[in-house]
Amino acid sequence: MAIIVNLDVMMAKRKISSNELAEKIGITPANLSVLKTGKAKAVRFSTLEKLCEVLACQPGDILEYRDGE
């Protein structure tokens, strides 16, 4: 998919574990794993909002468009 999820990069920058992030944004660790591994087909605005809030970043820091992938 042309949309790349850089969630693991942001998590490493903020030094936050998957379980802790999942708990803070209110989703299951399994769903967070789906998002991290790029298997997700859609992200709700509410989830994105919480991710940006917890990781103190912008949507563009988490999602990236790469041509031809």
Partner 1 sequence: MWNKDKSIILSAVIIKMIYAAIAVCCVAAPFLVRYYDESVVIPRGESSVFLPLLVTLYCIVPPAVTAMVSLDMLLANIRKGQPFISRNVTLLRIISYCCFAVSVLFIYFSFLKPFGFAIVFAAAFFGVILRVVKNCFEQAVALREENDLTV
Using CB under 8 A as the binding criterion, the count of chain residues that bind partner 1 stands at: 12
For the segment 18-47, give every residue that binds partner 1 (CB under 8 A). 27, 31-32, 34-35, 39-44, 47
List 64's β-bridge partners, or say none: 4
**C-beta atoms surrounding 11 within 10 Å:** 20
CB of 42 to partner 1, least distance (A): 4
CB of 21 to partner 1, least distance (A): 12
Distance (Å) of CA 1 to CA 52, 63, 65: 22, 12, 9
Contact residues for partner 1, defined by CB under 8 A = 27, 31-32, 34-35, 39-44, 47
